Chains A and B, each alone.
Chain A
Amino acid sequence: MLYLYDGALDVPTILKNWYEAEATSNYGAYIPFVGTVRSENNISGLSFDIYEPILEKWFDSWQLKAKAKGAIIKMAHSRGDVMLHESSYIAAVFSPKRRVALMLIEEFVEDFKASAPIWKYDLKQNKRIYALERSTAISGSGILGVFS
């Protein structure tokens, strides 16, 4: 279950909806992670581009991994601008027991940072500046730059 929104996420509503959707699914653990835009480097906010076809494939592969452990993953992310102290990202794992959920949420969020096709920009003085130094090259990058 992947949900994309224009602008900031309505965190209380999303967490409540997810909780209520699974309230009688017999999961013993619900572990959400919420990512919020912090004030740093004089930014007024962040902005995001998403390439949805590959994001959906990446997410589906994680949903299969979770299913093999009896768990499910939900994720919400913003497109476009998200201002200071607003939230752009929520990931959550529901699982029968806490250990699986604790492990999966860490593995999922780390791989999300390294692999999900989302690009981040700092909003600064009415400019949108690609955050290259905080970004990670996807595994296998650089093959078109090799001279043969």
Chain B
Amino acid sequence: MVRVEFLGPIQKKPLELEIKNLNELAHILQKDKELSEWLQNSAVAVNDTLVNSLDVELKDGDKISLLPPVCGG
């Protein structure tokens, strides 16, 4: 089971999913129309490290975070 968290302005509760990699996550989240814009502009972190590719294997207990566009200061 992995946990998926939606940060900042994405108003969505965390998900617990049985998935093996980020490709599976992409397929699941792309079915949610409310997320479509966020998927286009959000960065992805696995266990608080940003990743640049879907080619990431996941293991039980991993945490995935979606980070929409930022503006500190």
Contacts and interface: CB of A to CB of B under 8 A. Distances in A.
Interface of A: 35, 48-51, 53-54, 57, 77, 88-89, 109, 112-121, 130-132, 134-148
Nearest to A112: B72
5 contacts: A54-B65, A54-B67, A109-B73, A137-B43, A143-B26
A138 B26 contact: no
Contact of A138 (B49, B54, B70): B70
Contact of A117 (B25, B27, B39, B67): B67
Contacts of A142: 39-42
B39 to A, nearest CB: 4
Q: Is the interface of B mostly helix, strand, loop or mixed?
A: mixed
B26 A144 contact: yes
Given A57-B49, A113-B71, A138-B70, A146 B54 contact: yes
B32 to A, nearest CB: 11
Interface string B32-73: 000010011111110011111110000000000111111111
A118 B70 contact: yes
Contacts of B22: 143-144
Given A113-B72, A131-B71, A138 B43 contact: yes
Contacts of A109: 73
Contact of B9 (A35, A130, A144): A130
Contacts of A115: 70
